[in-house]
Chain A
């Protein structure tokens, strides 16, 4: 087996490509560092000088406003210079290869590449070709991983539940296409959550998903019973076009989170969603806006977590 490409020779975080394969200590280090940044984001002067003089390139080969913006804010709060590139509409359409694009930007003296790509594994390819002082942070690749989202989910869970060792977590919906689900599952199993469940119809669960260390439920009511954390996944409209699902209505009926279904979870359960939400498809507004929802705090924590990741990789 090849050496874990995310770690340098000292076992420190060189790139953040996937939560899978990261030791527990590094996950805790990121979460603890993020904790210290939550204070910064609440101050009047929301800046620390940790990345002063460094350049962060946001390389988005797939359009995204939200994730790109949170990375931009995080980098700016660390005093870095941020350059946003929407490559989906520039060089790739002119036929330039992924590695040529990266080589060109590298020649402009980058320190951190934040990469989003619609092809699973693209950030691994980039990480293999950047210079030793450059760092790659995966901001979502295909169906594979979205490690900063997974970390902010872990951060949110730890914030509300303190400790992972007794938790039952349910992840509901389109696990097949979800990089968010994969990252969170690896994070939860690494941090010792005893029971991680995935809930969805067979068409939206990938082959052999049990091997990731999860229990599979097709009946949402059964799967939600006594859960401490419920993570709803976004269902894209295009899933209804093929043979995966008949309609949004039928999906909502069986796998949409309503107050009635949520009542089967523990009374103090929290509800999370990586956003953007489809109200009335995977989640009812009464839940999304209700007392169990921690969806907006997730966004706030997301900035602190991304600050933590960038400051840690840049320091190694």
Chain B
């Protein structure tokens, strides 16, 4: 399909381009100008940006099909303008065998929607004891290795895992959390948890684990991406680690960028998240860190949970929230609040995650994969269970009116979503 997108405001964060113009797509790639396109999309009033890249989206397959399926969640991805996503290994069984990864990739490919990049399990069954066959898993298509939200309490295993991954140059994606300090906790250990009588997780559960991990990165030179930072202290530590030149990067979830523990209100189980929503000070530090580049990317941390998982008392609720369809509007909201140019805002969900993922998409240069999202930055969307494509209807943002409506999503030059 030879596609021409005309009259768009083309924003390519990788090159800094932000100008009115036409965009040409041919043979699945961004192309130079050509005559006689097979289809023309008039994108007047719309922004044409690289398709968004989400570093944490759970598709729930295999094992949790009652919560969501590849079909439902990849539809949600496209509706959110997300053309590439990395899925954590915490499926059932976890992604610890090449066969499982292979099957997931085939299933995803057959659906020909968004590109799916599986993140393999770092340890067998995510139990934190034995290493997985990382090289085999990488061959099957794993782009990185992770424990998802499962703890890895044994520092010896962690050290060996990083050494092994570094040997092959595999990136390791980890959430920094000290398992014993976090044990039993369901909310940020502070005034709100004290008032609500909820067991707390102190902020140093994250910073202590992060300090350990940074020390291990120093020792092993493994490439580590830290997933979903939640504290001001972590941002400070990442700033220093990057200044030192350690091979590290990190992201923040849309929830932690905008919400804090006060949003728990009267035990809103939609705010039961991992890591917990922390203080306003932490939230502000994350927003600033994302602006100055200390935090590289925003992810949706998309986690569809069924109603039964949330219609229980707060501490018993299953953690997680739907997010794929909110990635764009919530990233725009952050950029708007900090008065950033749109290109800089969009970099956090395009060129930056592409760099972490090590893929060629996330930019609009000729020759790059023709993954493009067209959106209306001014049109607002009201977040409602009925309109979310995801099978997960749970999000703390229900009822929010957010700017940023996706109109077309294009993957490999094919228009796969139109609204």
B311 at the interface (CB under 8 A from A): yes
Segment at the interface with B among A48-56, A104-112, A139-147, A163-171: A139-147
A121 & B194 in contact (Cβ 8 Å cutoff): no
What are the 10 tightest A-B residue pairs by CB atom distance, in nearest-first order?
A144-B197, A121-B267, A143-B197, A119-B313, A208-B191, A206-B194, A211-B191, A120-B197, A122-B313, A207-B189
- Note all chain B residues with C-beta closer than 8 A to A5: 266
What are 10 inter-chain pairs, A to B, with CB distance below 8 A? A98-B313, A119-B314, A121-B196, A121-B313, A125-B269, A125-B312, A125-B313, A143-B199, A144-B196, A212-B191
A211 & B196 in contact (Cβ 8 Å cutoff): no
Taking the nearest CB of chain B, how far is it from the CB of A121, in angstroms? Answer: 3
- Note all chain B residues with C-beta closer than 8 A to A209: 194
- Note all chain A residues with C-beta closer than 8 A to B311: 97, 99, 125
Give A209's nearest chain B residue, CB to CB: B194
B195 & A124 in contact (Cβ 8 Å cutoff): no
- Note all chain B residues with C-beta closer than 8 A to A45: none
Taking the nearest CB of chain A, how far is it from the CB of B259, in angstroms? Answer: 13
A97 & B200 in contact (Cβ 8 Å cutoff): no
- Note all chain B residues with C-beta closer than 8 A to A145: 197
- Note all chain B residues with C-beta closer than 8 A to A116: none
Given contacts A124-B266, A206-B200, 20 further A-B contacts (CB under 8 A): A20-B195, A97-B312, A98-B312, A99-B311, A120-B196, A121-B198, A121-B266, A125-B312, A141-B197, A142-B197, A142-B198, A143-B198, A143-B199, A144-B196, A179-B197, A206-B193, A206-B194, A209-B194, A211-B191, A211-B194
- Note all chain B residues with C-beta closer than 8 A to A1: 265
- Measured CA separation A206–B194 after assembly (Å): 6
Taking the nearest CB of chain B, how far is it from the CB of A218, in angstroms? Answer: 17
- Measured CA separation A20–B194 after assembly (Å): 12
B-facing residues in A206-258 (Cβ within 8 Å)? 206-209, 211-212
Give A20's nearest chain B residue, CB to CB: B195
A182 at the interface (CB under 8 A from B): yes
- Measured CA separation A99–B316 after assembly (Å): 13
A207 & B266 in contact (Cβ 8 Å cutoff): no
Taking the nearest CB of chain B, how far is it from the CB of A285, in angstroms? Answer: 31
User: What per-residue 1/0 map shows which CB atoms of A143-185 lie under 8 Å from chain B?
Assistant: 1110000000000000000000000000000000001001000
A-facing residues in B196-211 (Cβ within 8 Å)? 196-200, 202
- Note all chain A residues with C-beta closer than 8 A to B265: 1-2
B403 at the interface (CB under 8 A from A): no
- Note all chain B residues with C-beta closer than 8 A to A212: 191, 194-195
- Note all chain B residues with C-beta closer than 8 A to A77: none
B-facing residues in A108-140 (Cβ within 8 Å)? 117, 119-122, 124-125
Residue of A20, A120, A206, A208 near B267 (CB, 8 A) is A120
B198 & A120 in contact (Cβ 8 Å cutoff): yes
- Measured CA separation A122–B311 after assembly (Å): 10
Give A175's nearest chain B residue, CB to CB: B194
Binding site for A on B (CB under 8 A): 189-191, 193-200, 202, 265-267, 269, 308, 311-316
- Measured CA separation A124–B267 after assembly (Å): 8
- Note all chain B residues with C-beta closer than 8 A to A2: 265-266
- Measured CA separation A208–B267 after assembly (Å): 19
Taking the nearest CB of chain A, how far is it from the CB of B262, in angstroms? Answer: 9
- Note all chain A residues with C-beta closer than 8 A to B316: 119
User: Which among B189, B308, B316 has the highest number of chain A CB atoms within 10 Å?
Assistant: B316
Contacts A97-B311, A120-B198, A120-B313: A207 and B267 contacting too (C-beta < 8 A)?
no
B313 & A207 in contact (Cβ 8 Å cutoff): no
Give A6's nearest chain B residue, CB to CB: B266
- Measured CA separation A97–B308 after assembly (Å): 9
Give B194's nearest chain A residue, CB to CB: A206
Taking the nearest CB of chain B, how far is it from the CB of A248, in angstroms? Answer: 23
User: What per-residue 1/0 map shows which CB atoms of A12-26 lie under 8 Å from chain B?
Assistant: 000000001000000
- Measured CA separation A185–B190 after assembly (Å): 17
- Measured CA separation A182–B311 after assembly (Å): 25
Give A178's nearest chain B residue, CB to CB: B197
B202 & A207 in contact (Cβ 8 Å cutoff): yes
A182 & B197 in contact (Cβ 8 Å cutoff): yes
- Measured CA separation A179–B202 after assembly (Å): 21
- Note all chain A residues with C-beta closer than 8 A to B314: 119-121
Give A142's nearest chain B residue, CB to CB: B197
B189 & A142 in contact (Cβ 8 Å cutoff): no
User: Which among A20, A97, A98, A142 has the highest number of chain B CB atoms within 10 Å?
Assistant: A142
Taking the nearest CB of chain A, how far is it from the CB of B141, in angstroms? Answer: 39
B315 & A142 in contact (Cβ 8 Å cutoff): yes
Taking the nearest CB of chain B, how far is it from the CB of A116, in angstroms? Answer: 12
B190 & A208 in contact (Cβ 8 Å cutoff): yes
- Measured CA separation A206–B269 after assembly (Å): 22
Give B264's nearest chain A residue, CB to CB: A121
User: Which among A1, A99, A121, A142 has the highest number of chain B CB atoms within 10 Å?
Assistant: A121
- Note all chain A residues with C-beta closer than 8 A to B199: 143
Give A146's nearest chain B residue, CB to CB: B197
